[in-house]
Structure 1
Amino acid sequence: MQQLFIALVLLVLGVNANIHPDIIEDAHLDSLGLLRKYGYPAEEHIIETDDGYLLGLHRCPGSPASPEAVGKPVVLLQHGMLSSSADYILMGPQTSLVYMLADAGYDVWMGNARGNRYSNRHRSRNNETQQFWDFSWHEVGSIDVPNMIDYILAQTGQQQLQYVGHSQGTTVFWVMMSEHPYYNRRVKSAHMLAPAAYMHHTRSPYVIFLATFLYTTELMLQMMGTHYFAPTNEMDIQGGLEQCHDGAPNQQMCTINTFLIAGFNTQEVNFTMLPVIHAHSPAGASAMQMIHHGQTTRSRIFRRYDHGIAINNIRYGQPTPPRYDFSNVQAPTFLYHSTNDWLAAPEDVELLRQELPNVHKTYLVRMREFNHMDFVWAINVRSLLYDELLADLQANA
C-alpha cells in the first residue's frame, strides 16, 4: 500500500513513470524503513550525549537467516562525512554490509553523528542556531562515539564490541582513543575502511580548494551565516529520481560530484541505484567538520580544531591546537584501503600505519580503480572487500 501511495504521489508530481517502483520507494524510506522492507528487524534508540545532543542509534539485531538472540557478537558501524547509517543499508540485501553481518550472526548497530538527519536535535539548543552547530569531528569522536559504545554495551550486556568505520568514521575513532584511551578495553578489534587521518596526498579538487582558500572559505561561511550543510530534502529526491534514473539522458552526470571527491571508477557504479544514493546522501554535517579536514590538509598535522591563537589559548592553554596521540590507539587495528582513493591516499595510509602501535593487518583492495565511496556503494564490494572484512571480524570476535 505504501509503495502504491508513493508511486501515485510521484506520478501526480510528474516523476518519470518508467522508474522502477522499488527505486522510488527506497529513495523515500529512511534507514529503518529500508531494513524492514527487506525483512530485517530494525530499532531506533535515541541517546543523549554528555553535552545534550540527541543521537539516533540504529540497530539490526538479527535477520531471516539468523534470528535475534541474546549473546550475539556486537559490531558498531560508523559512517563517513556527510553520511548516515543509510550508507551501510541503501544498496540492498545483496550488497550492503549490515545485511551481510546480520546474516552472519552479528548484532549490528549503526551510529549517526551529531548533525545528520537522524541526530539533528539537542536537549536545549535550536538546530537553526550557530550554537547548535559549534562542533567538528572532534566532538563526534570525543563525545558521540564513546556515548554510543557505553549505551550499546549496557543494552547488550557485553563487555566489548567490534568497530567498523568508513572515512570520517575512522577519523573519529583515532580521536576517541587519543582523548579517552580507556575505550581500548571496550573495543575488541577496529576495522577501518578508507582510513582517514593525514591528507597530504589528497587528489580531490574540492578538498584541495578548501585547504588552499581555507580562511577565505571560513570567513565567507560566517558572513553568509551558514553553519551547516543540510541533508537532502524532497526537492533533491525528486531531482535525483528525474535526472539519475535508468534511461535519463544525463544519468552519468549524476556521478561527477562523487567522483571529484572520491576518485573516478565507473566500473563499480550501480547506475540503477543512483536515485537512491542521491536521496540519502548528503545527510547533513556542520561546516566546522569540513573546515577541520581543510585545516588538517593545510597544516599536514593531525590535531584538534584550530580556532585561532586567541581562542586556542583559552581552550587549549597554548596558541596551536594539541596533536592527537596515536600511541593511545592500542586496540587491534585493521586497515583496508585502495589505490584510487582520492581522500585516503595510499601514501597517507602508510604514514598512519607507521604511527599506529597495534596494526594487525593492512589490506589493499585488489582493484586499482576502487575509490573512496566504493567501500560502501560498489557493485562488487562484497567480493572485493567485505568477504575479507567478515573473515577478519570472525577471526577476532
Structure 2
Amino acid sequence: MLKFSSVLTLFVLFFVSANALSIDKVFPGNATDVEVINSLINDDDTICKSMVQAQGYACEEHKVTTKDGYILSVQRIPAGRSGKTANKPPVLLQHGIFVDAAPWLLNSPEESLGFILADIGFDVWLANTRGTKYSSGHTSLSPNDSAYWEWSWDELVQYDLSALVQYVNYATGQKLHYVGHSLGTLIALASFSQQDELINKLRSAALLSPIAYLNRIQSILIKAAAQLHLAEELDSLGYYEFPPGWDILGPILEKICNETGTNCSSIMTALTGPNCCVNTSKASVLLKHEPQPTATKNIIHLSQMIRTGTIAMYDYGSGDENKKHYGNSNPPAYDMRNIPTELPLFLGYGGRDMLADVDDVKALLNDLKDHDEGELVQVYSEEYAHADFVLGVNASRVVYDPMISFFNLH
C-alpha cells in the first residue's frame, strides 16, 4: 500500500525543485511586461520569514505581474549572513515542478545554493512559479477558476521567465546569471532557442539536471503515466489542478505500481533514481513546503514530450485545433540548435538520474556541439540522481564550486 507521505515525496522530487522590505515601483518605458506591486508582507508565513531570516539573512519580498495576469512571488537575499551587501551580479534561481523556492534554502547555509551564493557576494533572487502557494495570485482569476489553470510550460517560457528576468535586470541595473533545475532548465532552453530578447539580459545560464528531450526517461512510473494518458484523463474529468486529491490519485498510482511491478515503497528511487546524497532527515521539513500545485495541462504537455521525443509547443490534439492556436496543423518546435553559440552555458547532470537521462542529455549536448569554445561547460557526476543537484549535502563541492567559477568568468 502506498503511504501518503511517500506520494508527497513523489511529487516533490519529480522535476525538483532582517525584515522584509517594501518595494513599490512602476516600470517605465520599455519595461511593460511586468509591474511591481507593493510587497510589504506582514504575514509570518512567507519564504523570507520562515526560511531566510530564520537563518540570519536579510530578505526582501517582491511581487511581479506577468502580461497574462499572474502575480509571482520573488524573494531577494541582498546580503550575506555577515550583513555585507552583495558586490557581485544578481543570480536568479528557478525551481522545477511541484516545488517552490524552498529547496534552494532547505539544507544548512553551507549546503544550500541560495545561501552559498549570498555569502560569497552574489545578489540572490528566488523565483516561485505560477500556481505555487506564494504565486497563486492573479489580476482577475482565482485558483478555484478552471481558467486559472489554462497553461503549460509554454506560458512559463512566454510570460513568467521573461517577466522575472526583466524584473531583476531592471531592479538591479545589471545583467544576471540564471540557475535552473529540471523544468527550470526546459523553460530556459526553450526561450534561448527562440533567441528571445531576455538573452541580452543574461551573463550566463547554469542548467542542473537539464530537461529537454524526455523520450529516454528511465522512470517506469512516469513513463507508464504518460503512456496511459493519465493527465489527459484527469483533465477530461475536470481536474485542472494537479495533483488532485489523494482520494483520486492514490488508487491510480497504486494500480500503476502494481501493473508495472515497481516497488513503490521506495518511491523516491523509483521516480528520480537512487539519490546518493540527500539528507533524509530533511524530508519532514520539505513536506511543510511541498508539494506545490501545477496545471494538469502542464503535465499533459510533459507527457506529450515523453511519448513523442520532441521538444514542441503544446499539442491541442487535432490539426484544426492546432491551426487555431498556431496557424499550422502541428505545434511549432523548439529547436535547440538555434540557441546562440556564444551564450555561456553550464550543464550539470548525473549518471543515476532517471528523469534527466544521460542519453537524453547527450542528445541535447549534440544539438549544442557547435557552441563557441569555452562557452559550454559540463559537470558530470556518476553517482548523482535528480534531487542531488538541489538537495545533495555535498553539492557545493560537486556542482556549485565549478558553477561559481564559471559565473566568475562571465
Q: TM-score when scaled to structure 1?
A: 0.82
Q: Deviations over 1:78-118 (max 9, x none)?
A: 00111111120111212110110001100000111111112
Instruction: Describe the shift of the 1:255–1:74 C-alpha distance in structure 2 as closer, same or farther (beyond 3 A).
Output: farther
Q: How many residues align?
A: 344
Question: Contact 1:79–1:112 (CA<8 Å) still a contact in 2?
Answer: yes
Confirm whether residue 334 of structure 1 aligns to residue 346 of structure 2: yes
Give the whole-Å Cα distance in 2 for the aligned partners of 1:178 and 1:129. 32
What is the deviation of 1:131?
0.5
Query: What corresponds to 1:98 in structure 2?
Result: 114
Q: Using the alignment, how far apart are the partners of 2:92 and 2:239 within structure 1?
A: 31
Contact 1:30/1:86 (8 A) holds in 2: no
Q: Aligned-pair distance for 1:177?
A: 2.2
Q: Does 1:393 align with 2:407?
A: yes
Q: Work out the CA distance in 1 between the residues paired with 2:398 and 2:288.
A: 26
Give the equivalent residue in structure 1 for 2:292.
283
- Cα separation, 2, equivalents of 1:58 and 1:225: 33
* 1:60-71 alignment runs, 5 A limit: 60-65=77-82, 67-69=84-86
Tell me by how many angstroms 1:136 deviates.
0.6
Match of 1:311 in 2: 321
| Alignment correspondent of 1:111 | 127
Structure 2: distance between partners of 1:178 and 1:315: 20
2:355 partner amino acid: L
| Superposed displacement of residue 206, structure 1 | 2.6
| Separation (CA, whole Å) in 1 of partners of 2:84 and 2:135 | 28
Report SS of the residue matched to 1:363: strand
Kept after mapping to 2: 8 A contact 1:231/1:283: no
Contact 1:231–1:281 (8 Å) recurs in 2:
no
Give the letter for the 1:41 counterpart: A
More helix by share: 1
Work out whether residues 184 and 329 of structure 1, in 8 Å CA contact, stay in contact via their aligned partners in 2: no
Partner of 1:134: 150
Deviates more, 1:98-107 or 1:319-328: 319-328
For 2:58 and 2:264, the matched residues in 1 are separated by: 32
Partner of 1:36: 53
Superposition deviation, residue 197 in structure 1: 0.5
Q: Which amino acid aligns with 1:314?
A: K
Helix, strand or coil at the partner of 2:61: strand
Paired AA for residue 143 in structure 1: Y
Identity, % of aligned positions: 32
Task: Tell me the CA shift for residue 274 of structure 1.
Answer: 1.4
Match of 1:271 in 2: 280
Residue 322 of structure 1: which of 307, 332, 342 is its match?
A: 332
1:167 corresponds to which of 182, 188, 191: 182
How far does residue 222 in structure 1 lie from its aligned partner after superposition?
2.5
Q: How does 1:205-244 map to 2 (within 5 A)?
A: 205-214=220-229, 217-229=230-242
Secondary structure of 1:45's counterpart equals: strand
Structure 2: where are the runs of 5+ without partners?
1-43, 247-262
Letter in 2 for 1:228: E
Alpha-carbon displacement from aligned partner over 1:179-201 (angstroms, at most 9, x marks no partner): 45222211111111011010121
SS of alignment partner, residue 132 of structure 2? coil
Provide the secondary structure at the position in 1 that maps to 2:287: helix
Contact 2:72 / 2:136 at 8 angstroms: preserved in 1? yes
Uncovered stretches (5+) of structure 1, i.e. residues with no partner: 1-27, 234-252
Question: Distance between the aligned counterparts of 2:243 and 2:135, measured in 1?
Answer: 12
Give the Cα separation in 2 of the matches to 1:67 and 1:145: 29
CA RMSD of aligned residues (A): 2.2
Moved over 6 A (4+): none
**Which letter does structure 2 place at the counterpart of 1:293?**
L
Superposed counterparts of 1:52-67, under 5 Å:
52-65=69-82, 67=84
